[in-house]
Structure 1
């Protein structure tokens, strides 16, 4: 399994869709900065900025982002017509899928780190007070691990749609709706039990 994971990490260099993931992490922070301009009485500081980035990431950006990237990575073997060559090696599709899912888990942590860097930069650009190294470390831990847990939450969607060559696009739509429903699940425990993203 370690060899599969190492191979998949090396193959990530060819995938330009990773830049889409980084751009979506930037979009999450930009969306947060845009909402900070609203005159709704909120007092913005670094802590509040972190909270809002996590909220935007959870509800609109990251479930869709990681489902898109994971689905793309899984279906590349079918699209590039390399799956038949890979399966001649004594490795099953299930092992290959588990390796790809593990790599995308690592990727979700990486995107969390990128989002944290963008959050700190955005806070400095906006001039929000309250920055400290301790809060930056807290943001790093929170954003990174929330991304990992969001990835685990949408993994069933990825697995269900991974068998179809373009099924991951359906998965992206389902993941977006799933994440968006998380905003409404916050106040209703019955709905929160179904939509674990906002628990």
Structure 2
């Protein structure tokens, strides 16, 4: 608990919350944009919320979660605070667990913000079918979907936290990882990013007669990812330090006049 409270205190000094809010706003605008198209399709609240859910799970939240998680670890070196934590002493496992807990709650917060933004845009446009039961259903779907994305990218988040020099590489990998979930194929039943959509997106696979998605396969896939993440976390040695960010070398002063 003390580690979590300490991490929450650090967030006030960082720009990660602002960056997450900006990404969430962009995801809401991207998901809402099709509602402005004049393509003959009736625009409704569920349709826009489904677009928002897909934009979160495919394009925005995978990379955002990995980036924020990796930067939370990277800051321990860039702010030169890790040496203070090691005198407590604080094991790497407890430190990472605290950061992951904070990242989990941040994901929930950004999910609620995403829903509120999408709902506000729908009400501003006067879209139908925004009754209270629909509001509750889509709030649950969006929060659940983004939390499953948290599980989906957990191995990449751990790698970005342990090897902080690879934060941006892991973030790019997370974006590509999520992007492939926009495709349709039977083998994607066992693709973690697609498994999220299979479980929370009611339109996943609708309109395609060559593919059948199985919720049971999706659950097993995400459980396998969670188990693999637990194994990776268990392999972290309690006394091991994070992969240090290389500090720039000081210029050697020339001797003589």
Q: What TM-score do you get using the length of structure 1 for normalisation?
A: 0.92
Residue 183 of structure 1: aligned partner: 182
Rounded to whole Å, the distance in 1 between the matches of 2:196 and 2:136 is 23
Structure 1's consecutive aligned runs of 4 or more residues displaced over 6 angstroms after TM superposition are none
The one of 173, 178, 193 aligned to 2:190 = 193
Residue 163 of structure 1: aligned partner: 162
Equivalent residues in 2 for 1:76-95, closer than 5 Å: 76-95=75-94
Does 2:108 align with 1:109?
yes
Gap runs ≥5 in structure 1: none
Q: Is the 8 A contact 1:79 1:165 kept in 2?
A: no
1:57, CA displacement in angstroms? 0.7
The CA RMSD over aligned residues, in Å, is 1.4
1:114, CA displacement in angstroms? 0.6
Q: Number of paired residues?
A: 196
Q: Is the 8 A contact 1:161 1:171 kept in 2?
A: yes
1:126, CA displacement in angstroms? 2.1
Deviates more, 1:104-113 or 1:23-32: 23-32
1:27, CA displacement in angstroms? 0.9
Equivalent residues in 2 for 1:14-29, closer than 5 Å: 14-29=13-28
Residue 4 of structure 2: aligned partner: 5
Q: What TM-score do you get using the length of structure 2 for normalisation?
A: 0.72
Residue 49 of structure 1: aligned partner: 48
Rounded to whole Å, the distance in 2 between the matches of 1:40 and 1:67 is 36
SS in 2 for 1:39: coil
Residue 58 of structure 1: aligned partner: 57
Rounded to whole Å, the distance in 1 between the matches of 2:21 and 2:9 is 18
Q: Is the 8 A contact 2:145 2:197 kept in 1?
A: no
Q: Is the 8 A contact 2:145 2:196 kept in 1?
A: no
Select the structure of larger CA radius of gyration.
2
